[in-house]
A and B are shown apart, each in its own frame.
Chain A
Amino acid sequence: MKILIVDDSKAMRMIVRRQCNEIGLGESEFIEATNGVEGAAVIKEQQPDLVLSDWNMPEMSGIEMLEALNADGVSVKLGFVTSESQPSYKDRAIEAGALFLISKPFNAETFRRALGQFV
């Protein structure tokens, strides 16, 4: 499985990857992007099986990236891993087709619940 992690923080990209390893996705191929513009380009070029994206990023946010992909007719399985947790953000994420929204701080159990279908 190919997993794209989109986050402007190198530390968070590493932590997200570590959580994936902990829940049994360690054999996946991990690729990275640092904002929504890069993420959208990588998604179109490499078609990852799953995208784990931050919400707030420079250049283009995660939700803007997902909405832009929808507008371009690009289908992607995407979940957010973000500091945002207000209901309006979850509603907007689900409306745009996101599979889940994991709020920080999180642990392996949170990841297991959200990503269970991919393990």
Chain B
Amino acid sequence: MEMTDLDFAEMVESVFSGMLGFELVRTHTEGEPEPGDRFIGTVHISGSWEGSVVVECPEKFGRLVAAAMFGNEPDAVEDDEIVDVVGELANMTGGNVKALLEGEATLSLPTVVRGADFRVIVPGTHLTRSLAYECSGHVFQVRVLSKNPS
């Protein structure tokens, strides 16, 4: 798959900033994670390229995004609305990654998990792209995991 760091960054920014109107600032992925629950949305791509796209955000950021999408106050957002939004963000990002592929591929429906002390592992994959952004005081990450050789 021909995807440069710049392609990936533009894609992520077009989803989060272009469509949702959030101002994003690139940041680093290391450091202490924000305390509290996180939501992780994942979609899988299979076909000419095999891998996964993962969107991870703190619960408070997911709540802000859901509030913006639903036109609610953050405190009025229901958990299933955050699940919906995080899944949709993974879906949109995954669809744009898939658009860069040559050859046929299919995109799975998103899965979303919530928790405080866990990580998502997709067996047989390795990390090929990772970006972190700061937005409204929270850090979220977007990662591409590939089953194909580097």
Chain A residues within CB distance 8 Å of chain B: 8-12, 14-15, 56-58, 82-86, 88, 103-107
Contact = CB atoms under 8 A, between A and B. Distances in A.
B50 interface: no
Contact of A56 (B19, B71, B84, B107): B107
A71 B36 CA distance: 51
B95 interface: yes
Interface string B85-126: 101100110111011010011010100000000000000000
A103 B91 CA distance: 12
A92 B94 CA distance: 20
A28 to B, nearest CB: 18
Contact of A105 (B69, B81, B84, B92): B92
Given A10-B84, A105-B92, 4 more contacts: A11-B70, A86-B105, A104-B92, A107-B18
A83 B95 contact: yes
A15 B71 CA distance: 10
5 contacts: A9-B87, A83-B91, A83-B92, A86-B105, A105-B14
B66 interface: yes
A58 B111 CA distance: 12
B19 A104 contact: yes
B85 A11 contact: yes
Contacts of A88: 104
B84 A103 contact: no
